[in-house]
Structure formats: C-alpha cells, structure tokens
Amino acid sequence: MIPTMTVTKGSATDGQTAVISAQNVVKTFANGSVIAVDDANFQIKPGEFISLVGPSGCGKSTLLRMVAGLLERSSGQLAVHDRPVKGPDPSVSMMFQKPTLLDWRTAIENVLLPSEIAGRVTDSDRRKAMDLLELVGLKDFAFSFPAQLSGGMQQRVALARLLQTGADILLLDEPFGALDEFTRERLNVELMRIVSEVNATTLFVTHNIGEAIYLADRVFVMTPRPGRVAGIVEVPFERPRPPSIQQSPEFNALVSQVRHTFGENV
Amino acid sequence: MMDRLSVHLQSLFKHLIVFACVIALWEGAAAVGLVDVILLPPPHAIAGSIWDLYVENRTIYRHFTITFYEAFAGFLIGGAFGLALAVGSSLNDSFRRYVSPYAIVLNVTPGLALTPIVIAWFGFGYSSKIALGAIVCFFPIFVNTLIALSRTDGDTLEMFQSMGASKGQVFWKLRVPAALPMIFAGFKIAITTALVGAVVAEFSQATAGIGVLMQRLSFALDMSGAIAALLSMSLLGLILFTIIEIIDDRVVFWRRGSRMEAVSRRRLARWKTSAGSSSGKPIGRK
Amino acid sequence: MKHFLITSAISALVAVGPVAAQELTTINAVMPKQRSANYFPLIVGEALGYFEEEGLEVNLLPSDTPIPFVNFLRNGQADVAMLDPAEVLQALAAGVELNVIYEVMQTAPDGIAVSGNSDLTDVEQLRGQIVGLVSDRDRVTMQIALDARGMTEDDVTTVVVGEAGPTLAAAFRDQTVAAIAGSGPDWLAIQANGIPVSLITPAEVSNKPGNTFAVASGTLEEKGDLIEGYLRAWSKGMYVATIAPEVVARMAQDAVPEEWEDANFGQQYLNNAIRLNVSVTETLGGLNTGTWESIQPAMQKFGLITDMIAADKFLAPSPVEAANNFDRDEIAQEVQAWKDANM
Amino acid sequence: MNEIADLTIPAPKRSALNIIARHLAIFLALISAWEISCRLEWLDPLFFPYPSSILEGFWRLYITQGNIWSHLGLTMFAVIVGFTAGSVLGVGLAICVGMSDRLRRYLKPYVIVLEATPRIAIGPVIIAAFGFGWTSKTAIVMLVCFFAPFVNTLNGMISVDRDKVEMFRSMGASRIQTFSKLLLPSALPEISAGLRLAMASALGGALVAEFIASNAGLGVLITQYTGTLNMASAFVCVLTLSALGYFIFRGMEAVDRFIIFWADRDRIEAVGRKRLAAWHSRLGDRP
C-alpha cells in the first residue's frame, strides 16, 4: 500500500551527504489513534529547495515541526547534519503562517530577537538586521511597530528575522498563506532571490500547488489519513525563474503530474 | 478518557496527602500546647463544630440561605445597574464621560464606610445587606461590560456596516455576543464581591446571616464554631462562584469544544425538522 | 503631593511610637472604643502625669472585633481588658481563668431604654412590640428583663439595630423600635445630641455590675504592682472629676478634639460620661460581690453560663484597696496648680 | 480574567475647557440638590450633613484643627506598604506558578477557594495572630491586595499567543528568555489591570483593619465621628478616601498608558522616533 520511493534524477543518494535525512519516520497523536505522518523516507541535499504540498491534515506541518525539533517523532530516524534531532537546533530556523511579531518591539528589534536569544547583540548583528530589512524592502519601516505595518509587511519582517539567525536550514510553514495573490507572488520571487543569495536548504510547506512547483527543486506530494509522502516530483527549471514561467506548458505538465501523484493515492 | 480520570485521581491523591500532613501537624501542635487551644482550636474540634452546625442542631442552614439570598440579590441588582450604565456609556460617549468618574469614586470608596448610610436608608432588614452587596459588585460588571462592548473587532464591524446593519443590529448581533466572555469574567468577580458586601453589612448590623452567626459564636468563645462558620462562608462563596460558572458555560458555549459540538448537533436537528428535506442541496443546481 | 505624604508619614510614626522619656513600662489595655471622654480617668491621669508617677505608660488598644477581649488577655497582647459582666461570666464558663479587679463603670449596667417622649414606662408594655438590640450580645439583657415580667423572647419581635451612632439615634428619635436593649455607653452620644432617652429596666434586674477591668489569672502575681499603679492612677483621674469637672473638660478638649467640634455636645457628652464613670461606692471601683452572684441565675436560665460560679473564685478585691490609697488633698492641690497654669 | 483598561474617552471634539465646565456644572447641580433636599428635611440630618457643613468640616479638619493629617498619613502608609507587599507577592507568586504547569494545576483549587472567601472575615483572625497596631493593619491590606494581581498576572501569562511561544522554542530560547522577552511583556496589560483592582480594595482593607482594631488612622477617625453623631466630619474622612482613591486610580491609568505604549495609537509613533534617534547615535550611519 505504501508506494516505493519514485527514484528520480538528482535525488540525494548520488554522492553528497544529505543535510536532512528521514527513515521510516512516523508521528501519531492521541496515543496511536491518529497517524499524522506515516513512514516518511527522504534525503535532502544541502542548498536544495523542497516544498511540501497537500491538503490540510496530510501531516506537512507536523513533518516540518519534527525537523525543527518542536515535535518528537513517534518512531523512525530523523537527522539534521547527521545529528539525530533532539530539540531546536541553532542551524535550523523556522517561520510560521502568522507573523508572530512582538507588538512592543519595532521591526528591527523583532529581527534582532534571534541574535538576542542566542547571546549578546553586537553592532555587526545590528548592521546585518538593517541589511536584511533592506533585502526584504522594509528599510524605511525599520522603526515602525507591527501595529503600523500591513499583513504582507509583517510577514516580510518575519522573513528577515528568519534569516537573521544565519541558519543554513530554513523551514517555512505556509508563510504566505494569509496573504493576497499579488503580495504572495512578489514575496515568492523575493524568497527565491534571498534563499539563493544565502545558499540555504529550504523546506517550504504550502497547500498551493503552483507556488510549490514554482519555488522548489523537488515537490513532496503528501496525502492525508494517514499523512504520507505519496510521491516526489522533480522540478528541472533553471534558476532564477521568471514568474512568467508559471504559464509555460512544462510548468502545467508538472502541475498535472503533481495532481496525478496526488489523485493516485486518495 | 481513562487517562484523564487517572490524572484527576492522582492529583486528588496528592492533595489528600498534603491535607493529611497539615492536619496531623496542627493536631500535634495543639496537643503539645504549642498553640493556644482556645485561640486556634485543633482540626478535630473544628470538625466537631461543623458536625454540630450542619447535622446536630442544623443552625447553619437558616443563616446560609439568608446570606445567599442577600448576596445573590445584591449581585443581580448591582449587575443590572452595571450592565445598564455600561450599555448606556458604550452607546453614547458623553454619557460615559460623565458617568465613569462617579463609578470610579463609588468603587474606590470602601463599602464599609458607606454601611451606616446604607443601613439608614434601607433599614434593618435584608434590603440594606442587598443594597451594600449591589454597591460593591456594581463596578467590576460596569467596567468589564464597558470595555468588552467597546473592544469589538474592527473588520467584523466593517462587515456589518457593509451589510447596512443598524446600530441596534450591530449592538445585539455583534457587540453583545462578542462581549459575553468578558462580561461573565466580570460576573465572576462581582459575585464574590457581592458576598463580601453582604457579610460586611451583616457584621455591622443584622439579625441573621453567616456573618452574625460567626460573631455570635466567637463571642461565646466558641472559636472552633466561628472557624466552622468562616469555612461555611467560603463554601457559600464557592457555590455562588460555581452558579455563575455553570451559566457562563451554557451561555458562552463557543469557548469549550464539547459544548460547541453539543450545540451544533442540536441546531442541526432543529434545522432538519424546520427546513424539511431541503438540507444539504447544492446551491448552484437551479 | 509627594512632599506632603512624606512629612505626614514621619509625623505619624513619631506620634504613634511612644517616646519613652524615662524607663516607663507599657501596659496594654484593650477597650471597646478609642480615647474618648468616656474614658476620662485615663485622659486626666495622663494629663496630670499620674500614670508616669507609677512608672507606667498606657497603650490603649481599641477593638470592635468579633474576637472577645478575653483572647487578647490569654495571648498576652493585653494586660488589662474592659469587660462587661456577660463577657466575664461567659469567659469563666468557657474555662478561661480571669480575675475581676475593678468596677470601672458602676452605674452603667446594661438595660432597656426608650425614647424620652415615648409613653412606655414598663417592660410589660413591650408585649407584641418590636424590641431593638444594640448588638447580638444584648439579647440576654432583653431576655432577662422580659423574664422579670413573665414574658419570653417570642412575645416580642427582635431586631438588631447596630452600634453605628446614627442608626441607633434614628431608632430612638423615630421610635422605629419600641425599646432598645443595650448598655450605658451606647446611649451616651445620643443623649448628648439632645435626643431624650429614659431607662425602663425592671428594678429587680437593674441592680447589677457595670463594666469592669479584668486580668488573666496569674497577672496579679507577675505584675501586681503594675496593675495596682494603673488602677490608682485611674482612680485619681476619676476623683478629679468629682472635684473639678471643668478641668476634666479642658483636658478632654486637648486630648480628644474630635468630640468637641460642637462645644455643647462635647460638654454634654462628658457630663454623661462622668455620671457613668464615677463610682457610687465609697471606695472607687469597689467590687459589688452581691450583684455578681444575684445576676447568675438569670444568665444560667438563658444559656449564657451552664452552672453557677462562686464570686470569690474570680473577684480579686486587693487591687481596689491599693488603688484607693492616695492623698485626696494632694490631688486637689495638683488640680488647682494645673488649673492656674492652663485655664 | 478581566481587564480594566482605562475608562478615558477618545479625544473629544469639544475643547478640554468645555468638558471641565460640564463636569463642574453636573457636580454643582448634584451638590446643590443635596443641599436643598437637606434644607427641606427630605434627607435625615442624622445621616446626611449639609454639604456646607461638610465644607466647613474640610476647613476645620485640614486647617484649623489639622488633626486629620496624622491619621491620613498613617492610613496611607499602611495602604502603600500593604499594597506594594501584596502586589509584589501576588505578581511574583503568579510568575513562579505561571512558569510551571504542574504547580499551577496543583494550586488552582486553593486559589478559587481563597478567592471566594470574604477576606474581611479573616481580619479578626489576623488581629488575633499579629496583635494590634501597624503590623496587622498592613497584613490585612496585603491579604486584600494579593489576589487581583495574582489572578490577573497568571491569566496574562497563560493567555499568551501559542504560536509566539512555539516561535521562541524554535529559536531555542531558554525559559528565562521566553519569560522576560515574551510572557512578561504580553502579560503587562493584565498585570496593570490587576494592580488597579488591588489599589481599589487596598483602601477598603485598611479601613476594615482600622475599624476592627487600631488606635489611629482614618478608619478610627470615622468610627469616632460616627460614634459621636458628627456626620459632617465623618463625611470629610470618607470623601478624603474617595478623592485619594480616585486620583491614585487615574494616576495608575496614566502610568498604564505610558508603559503599554504599543496599545496607544499616537504614543507608538513617538516611541518609534525616539528609538530611531538612539539607533543613529549608536551606529552613526546614514538614516
């Protein structure tokens, strides 16, 4: 019943050691009655952009939280940089659907939060935070408070905060889910530009198939009840990818392939 | 379900152990003479008095009901005033501007200082206790309701206005339901304050009530009886608190999962009976 | 605002903390009210330095608490307590060992009072009426008075009127209750305010001890001279009122200005207090042994005490003699000297 | 549990002077109504002194006799010390309890029982334990002031946004960091509401203590005056308490608006500009 891994070109097994590896990872809730993630197996190479797509309840957020060390797995092995995941790891940084900014801090002070948590804040941290705000196009709002920013701008501050940690593994849990189509498309373009500049490995959770394909090198298609990785779809496009690529026939072929992988297993 | 039960049993067990130790220590101290037995009677004496009050000569029930009646009536009247003034203030700014200073002054003036005047105005009977209860419990309800009514979420408000809802519709369909959780929080504070008000009035002038019983017992140097009366006051406070909690749970049902499901099932059933068989038909078919 | 708070706080501290000039031992006395013309022997004794002469300083502990004063005697917070007969007998019945050492208000027994212009003259007429109690503790007074006329509590409806001055005064003035059971000090302020009050306590029960000073047993052995000194200074203060009430008035005005904001109220209040406080017996504060035993049957009947208690078990006459041996003429000269200096 | 945000009203269109004038008008109307009904014997002179005699009372007690100052100082001393001790204990304990779920679940029943008990009934027991005078008065005020800060702080800490807590965990923040950078600031509005509630009951607590057993303080003065049917002076003391309570309450509201600036529209810009300036003075680079 569990499909074998569709081994496709460029998968992690050819040579480089995986930065994130999972073997038979299972996660159950309410002492076994609900299987959120069932037997996930994958290897992710450094610098890869992976998106996890599927309807709600397919375990994509649960999987992400396990990689972030926020949730313990019920069984199986899960390693980041070859170290088994035991709790939050400094080299892993996570972003949520809600901006979760602190209302009493200005944008720049929110971006500086991870440095504060990690230890003393140096002037270079401060310059880095200002550069990151410039990177996400919010330099002029560095000293505004969350209450003075729009939803999109708050997400971009959260994005800058995500990068402030200097972590090489970025986990994004539907970061743009609550935003309108236009803002989301603009943020996707910026995200790709930033990720390639920072050269980080990224796991991106979304329920939007188009967004998943546009951003990713590989798309993990996940199905619910129980949550499983139904299949992995390779995205061969070169980077950087212009937004117009989403109208190309190859792109639509990939969309139908994802839908097909998804349809096969319902 | 089983593990939740065992957790409860476990915590109950822990409570019992601590309780037993405290009782044992207290008895020991009394026996050894560390504690002046007349001033702080040992637990078994208190238990004895509780037995007398509740079972033997059953004196407590009359006083219990009287204080309960005084506190609850005080709460209802204080609550009514609090709600009315808060609604008035939330609807009209100048009303609020000129009412809130007097409400604050009433709140900061200790109820005890007002007792002689309240008793003078409302006489020796229960009405003066009810009045004092109402005065002290008015403020928490007034403030909570006022803030809850004025803190309605902006977007939903705009949505109502976009549908052309009148101020009254906005008030009843949006402001009041949204304010209910906080209003009930105010009720919970107010109910215990009303009890304090009633007891304060009883202490200075009353023929019956737990406050009077406690005074009478302590004057007859029956300190264990007085402490038993004090514990009955806490019991009364707890009962009043739970009454409000139960009503809160029923009225503000959308806060607790299981309550929500029960209500949705009931409304589904009602929908089916009233709307005949048409439920669940896709809209677009026609 | 800040400045004001600090200065008053400091001045308050100084006023409260008694500045011990020389080595004065503090004696804690718990009484129902704070310093007042009603306790003028204390005011006079302090003004003329009688307490200081005895090496004493009185720390008055006013308490209107449901906790009976007897407890403060037991846990040592108070050396002397002002108790009425009911409290004394109840404490003895509850097994507390006490000594009554001085009758401080011989003419202030509890009783039944009516408004001056009420036509009621005898408790008999109270049948079917409403009778007020100053506080729950006065229920026994009413029961005993009714019993003297063959009536019981059920023949009347009882209402607790409360000790707050205004409510009591209004009850008298408007006669919302036919009569009120209470004790001397309760009517003091009302009469002084011009509201007439007259007593209709049945003769058979009106003869009983008023308020007393009591100490826990054993205190006389440990602090005998301290207690005697206290009573002697108190008796001297009481005596001054018999020879120079106007001097007492002047001293009261200085010590308790709150009661003299309306001058003739203050004077009237003091006159009533003097009538209440000055002993009728030759020896000031003399213990009236007979009445201590004659009132017990009635108290027994209404459950205040279970069995009779022999008077000599708790009365301690010795301190009263010591309290009375002072030179009356010397007092007169000192009063005259004070008068010349201050009036 | 409940939030007493301030009761002030958005900036009125009418000028502030105009508002004060209206307030005064209403106040004077009330006072004259009181005076007239006294003169016409509608109000019983035993209980309701003439406002004019209360005014004289203020002059007498504060200026000519000046006997109110020491009593006032003493009561406020007990109120402030009791309030500070009670709320520090309340907030402190709530923080410890808030940080450990096990402790919170364990203490929950006791908190409810103690909160339901009318605490003034415990006053006499405290007097029996601490004796007379200053300590027991402060102890009663402390007891009365403990609850509101304790319950509000606890609620404030519990009702913090779950996602933010998870975000802090994902950054590997320690318990102390989570507490100081997230739990405490987000609980501040609730804490300050709790403190205001405590202050309102502090005055009542001090009065109860003074009524029961104390040889000095406003409560004693009030019993003395009511005992001698001098209601004018009694009202002076009561109104002093009310006025003090009112100004302290309003003062605390202002402090609340100052500390919790992010809830206040115009305060937020000012603070933003201040921090921008501070940033430049530190790093000195171009804006």
Residue by residue, DSSP assigns C132-177 as EESSGGGHHHHHHHHHHTT--GGGSEEEE--S-HHHHHHHHHHTSS
Residue D258, both tokens:
């100052």
Taking a C-beta distance cutoff of 8 angstroms, is the pair D151, D190 a contact? Answer: no
More confident residue, A67 or B261: A67
**ipTM tops 0.90:** no
Which band of pLDDT confidence, cut at 50, 70 and 90, is reported for residue C40? Answer: very high
Chains A and C are touching, with contact defined as 3 or more CB–CB pairs separated by less than 8 Å: no
Q: Using the 8-state DSSP alphabet, how is residue A122 labeled?
A: P
**Cα–Cα–Cα angle for B81, B65, C305, rounded to 5 degrees:** 130
Count other C-beta atoms under 10 Å from residue D50's C-beta. Answer: 16
A88/D282 Cβ within 8 A: no
What is the model's pLDDT at position C12?
Answer: 44
Task: Of B60-64, B123-127, B258-262, D178-182, give the lowest mean pLDDT range.
Answer: B258-262
Q: Which residue of B has its CA nearest to D229?
A: B116
Q: Which chains touch D (3 or more CB pairs under 8 A)?
A: A, B, C
**CA A52/CA A219 separation, integer angstroms:** 6
CB atoms within 10 A of CB C25: 13
B34–chain C Cβ distance below 8 A for any pair:
no
Cα C271 to Cα A127, C134, C238, C242, C274: the distances in Å are 87, 22, 13, 11, 5
Cβ-contact A142, A133 below 8 angstroms:
yes
Q: How far is A9 from chain D (nearest CA, A)?
A: 33
pLDDT at D2: 34
Per residue in C105-117, pLDDT (tens digit) is 887 668 889 988 8
Residue D228 touches partner C, C-beta closer than 8 Å: yes
Of D4, D120, D242, the CB nearest to B105: D242
Residue D123 has a pLDDT of: 80
Token duo for residue C34: 């704070």
Confidence (pLDDT) at C21: 52
Q: Considering only CA atoms, which of A197, A206, A183 is closest in space to residue A239?
A: A197
Q: Which residue has the higher pLDDT, D8 or A136?
A: A136
| Cβ C159 vs Cβ C132: under 8 Å | yes
Contact call for residues A75 and A49 (beta carbons, < 8 A): no
Q: What is the mean pLDDT of residues A229-254?
A: 88
Chain B residues within an 8 Å CB radius of C176: 123-124
Strands C25-31 and C56-62, bridge-based pairing:
parallel
D69-281 under CATH 1.10.3720.10, yes or no: yes
Q: Report helix, strand and coil shares of chain A as percent, to nearest 5.
A: 35, 25, 40
Q: Are residues C145 and C257 in the same domain?
A: no
Q: Which of D220, C35, C34 is nearest to B113 (CA)?
A: D220
In a domain, B131, yes or no: yes
Token code pair at residue A139: 């330099």
- Single out the residue of C183, C208, C206, C217 nearest to residue C315, CA to CA: C217
**Residue B2 pLDDT more than 80?**
no
Amino acid residing at B90: S
Residue A88 to residue D172, Cβ atoms within 8 A = yes
Look up residue C79 and give its amino acid: D
Other Cβ atoms less than 10 A from the Cβ of A152: the count is 17
3-state class (DSSP) for residue A213: helix
D282 interfacial to chain A (CB closer than 8 Å): yes
Which residue in the block uniquely carries the two structure tokens 């929080």?
A: B185
For B119, the domain range is 41-252
**Can you give the pLDDT at residue D99?**
84
Nearest partner of D170 among A146, A173, A201, A178, judged by Cα: A173
Q: What count of residues does chain A have? A: 266
List CB contacts of A1: < 8 A, sequence separation 6 or more: none
Bridge partners of A52, per DSSP, are A205, A220
DSSP secondary structure string for all residues of C40-96 = HHHHHHHHTTHHHHTTEEEEEEEB--SS-HHHHHHTTS-SEEEE-HHHHHHHHHTT-
Is B212–C160 a contact, with Cβ atoms under 8 angstroms apart? yes
Residues of C in contact with B225 (CB under 8 A): none
Any C CB within 8 A of D204 CB: no
C3: in domain:
no
Q: Which of D156, D143, D138, D140 is nearest to D94 (CA)?
A: D156
Comparing CB atoms, the residue among B101, B110, B121 nearest residue D203 is B110
Q: Pick the residue of D160, D164, D169, D171 with the most A CBs within 10 A to test the interface with A by mutation.
A: D171
- Position B75 scores a pLDDT of 96
Chains D and B touch (3+ CB pairs under 8 A): yes
The pLDDT value recorded for residue C66 is: 67
A155 touches chain D (CB under 8 A): no
Best of D162, D163, D170 to substitute, by most chain A Cβ atoms within 10 angstroms, is D170
Does residue A3 have a cis peptide bond before it, meaning omega lies within 30 degrees of 0?
no
Half-sphere exposure of C211 (CA within 13 A, CB side): 23
pLDDT at B24 over 80: yes
Are C219 and C93 in a shared domain?
Answer: yes
Nearest CA in chain A to D260: A104
Query: Mean pLDDT for chain A?
Result: 84
Q: Does residue A90 sit at the D interface (CB-CB below 8 Å)?
A: yes
Residues A95, A174 contacting (CB under 8 angstroms): no
Mean pLDDT of C16-44: 79
C216 and C250, same domain (yes or no): yes
- What percent of chain D lies above the pLDDT cut of 90? 18
pLDDT tens-digit profile of B79-123?
999 999 998 888 888 888 888 888 888 888 877 778 877 877 787
What single letter denotes the amino acid at residue A224? P
Number of H helices, E strands in chain A: 8, 10
pLDDT above 50: residue A4:
no
Identify the chains in contact with C, defined as 3+ C-beta pairs within 8 A: B, D
Interface probe for B, chosen from D18, D117, D208 (most Cβ of B below 10 Å), is D117
Q: Hey, are the CB atoms on C192 and D228 less than 8 Å from each other?
A: yes
Is the CB of C12 less than 8 angstroms away from the CB of D128? no
pLDDT tens digits along D43-97: 877 788 888 889 998 998 888 888 899 999 999 999 999 999 999 999 999 998 8
Question: Whole-number mean pLDDT of chain C?
Answer: 84
For residue D170, the chain A residue with the least C-alpha distance is A88
Interchain pair D44, C170: CB under 8 A: yes
Chain D residues near residue C75 by CB distance under 8 angstroms: 128
Q: What percent of chain A has pLDDT over 70?
A: 93
Question: For the CA atoms of chain B, what is the radius of gyration?
Answer: 25
- For D120, which residue in chain C has the nearest alpha carbon? C65
Top residue of B109, B183, B216 to mutate, by most chain D CBs within 10 Å, is B109
Chain D residues 17-46 within an 8 A CB cutoff of chain C: 44, 46
Decide if pLDDT at A15 tops 50: no
Q: What is the CATH number of the domain that holds B61?
A: 1.10.3720.10
- To which residue do tokens 């002993």 refer? C279
Q: How far is B40 from chain C (nearest CA, A)?
A: 10
Give me C100's structure tokens: 């009554």
Domain of C326 in residue numbering reads as: 24-105+209-342
Q: How many CB pairs under 8 A join B and D?
A: 137
One-character DSSP codes across C206-229: H-S--EEEEEETTHHHHHHHHHHH
What's the token pair of residue C116? 């001056």
**Residue B178, helix vs strand vs coil:** helix
Residue B178 within any structural domain of the chain: yes
Residue A60 is encoded by which pair of tokens? 């994509």
Same domain for C28 and C101: yes
Of the two residues C180 and C299, the one the predictor is more confident about is C180
- The first and second tokens of residue C139, run together, are 């229920």
| CA dist., res. C208 & res. C201, Å (int) | 11
Q: Which of residues 60-89 of D touch C (CB under 8 A)?
A: 60, 65, 67, 69-74, 76-77
Preferred mutation among C261, C265, C268 to probe D, highest tally of D CBs within 10 A: C261
**Is C1 within the bounds of a domain?**
no
The answer for A54, left when phi > 0, alpha when psi is -120 to 50, beta otherwise, is: left
Find, among B154, B109, B145, the residue nearest to D4 by Cα. Answer: B145
Q: D287 pLDDT exceeds 60?
A: no
Note whether C228 and C338 are same-domain residues: yes
Residue B228 lies in a domain: yes
> In angstroms, how far is the first alpha carbon of chain B from the final one?
47
Average of per-residue pLDDT across D95-119: 82
The Cα D203–Cα B107 span in angstroms is 10
Residue D121 DSSP code:
G
Give the model's confidence band at B235: pLDDT under 50 very low, under 70 low, under 90 confident, else very high: very high
D115 to B114, B202, C55, C322, D111: CA distances (angstroms): 23, 20, 48, 53, 6
Give residue D91's pLDDT. Answer: 93
Mean pLDDT of D17-27: 88
Rounded Cα distance, C7 and A243, in Å: 75
Of B11, B112, B121, the CB nearest to D211: B112
Distance, in Å, from the CA atom of B70 to the CA atom of B73, rounded to the nearest integer, reads 5
Which position has the higher pLDDT, D110 or B236? B236
Q: How far apart are CA B248 and CA B188, in angstroms?
A: 9
- Partner-chain contact D70 C258, CB within 8 Å: no
Is residue C118 domain-shared with residue C142, that is, in the same domain?
yes
Distance to chain D for B131, nearest Cα, Å: 16
Lowest mean pLDDT among C109-113, C184-188, D4-8: D4-8
- Helix or strand or coil: residue C209? coil
Question: Where in chain A are the domains?
Answer: 1-91+169-266, 97-166
Q: Which of C11, C13, C16, C176 is most worth mutating to test chain D (most D CB atoms within 10 A of its CB)?
A: C16
Residue B219 CB contacts under 8 Å (≥ 6 apart), including other chains: C66, C68, C87, C90, C136, C137
Indicate the angle between helix axes B111-122 and B176-204, nearest 10 degrees.
80
DSSP state of C259: G
Domain assignment present for residue C15? The answer is: no
Tell me the residue length of chain B: 286
Strand order in the sheet with A218-223: A92-95, A169-173, A201-206, A49-53, A218-223, A228-234
Contact B222, B47 (CB under 8 A): no
Residues of D in contact with B236 (CB under 8 A): 116
Do B219 and C137 count as a contact with CB atoms less than 8 A apart? yes
Mean model confidence pLDDT for chain B: 82
- Tell whether C166 and C236 lie within a shared domain: no
pLDDT at C256 over 80: yes
Least confident range of A26-40, C227-241, D85-99: A26-40
Interface A-D: count of C-beta contacts within 8 A? 80
* Predicted confidence (pLDDT) at residue B279 exceeds the cutoff of 50: no
Beta bridge partners of C212: C83, C103
Q: Is residue C191 within 8 Å of residue C169, measured between CB atoms?
A: no
Q: Å from D83 to nearest chain C CA?
A: 16
φ and ψ of B275, to 5 deg: -90, 10
CA atoms of C284 and C278, how far apart (whole Å): 8
**Whether B172 contacts B162, CB under 8 Å:** no
Alpha-carbon distance of B71 to B194, in angstroms, equals 5
What is the average pLDDT across D191-220? Answer: 85
What is the rounded CA–CA span in Å between residue A173 and residue A192? Answer: 16
Tokens of D58: 């203020």
Q: Please give the pLDDT value at position B282.
A: 46
Other Cβ atoms within 10 Å of A191 Cβ, number: 23
pLDDT beyond 50 at C9: no
| Residue D221 falls in which region: left (phi positive, over 0), alpha (psi -120 to 50) or beta | alpha
Distance in Å, alpha carbon of C342 to nearest chain D alpha carbon = 19
Please indicate whether, in this complex, the C-beta atoms of D282 and A123 are within 8 angstroms of each other. yes
Cβ–Cβ under 8 Å, residues C15 and D216: yes
| Contact criterion met (CB < 8 Å) for D181 and A147 | no
At which of C183, C206, C229 does a domain end?
C206
- Give, as one character, the DSSP assignment of residue A68: T
- Give the span between the Cα atoms of B112 and B130, in whole angstroms: 14
User: What pLDDT does residue B275 have?
Assistant: 52
Q: Name the CATH superfamily, with its identifier, for domain A1-91+169-266.
A: P-loop containing nucleotide triphosphate hydrolases (3.40.50.300)
State how many domains chain B has: 1
Put simply, whether D15 touches B (Cβ < 8 Å) is: no
Mean pLDDT of chain D: 84
C15 has pLDDT over 70: no
Could you tell me the two tokens for B179? 């304010």
| Chain-chain contact of D228 with C269 (C-beta, under 8 angstroms) | yes
Write down which residue in C181, C206, C231 finishes a domain: C206
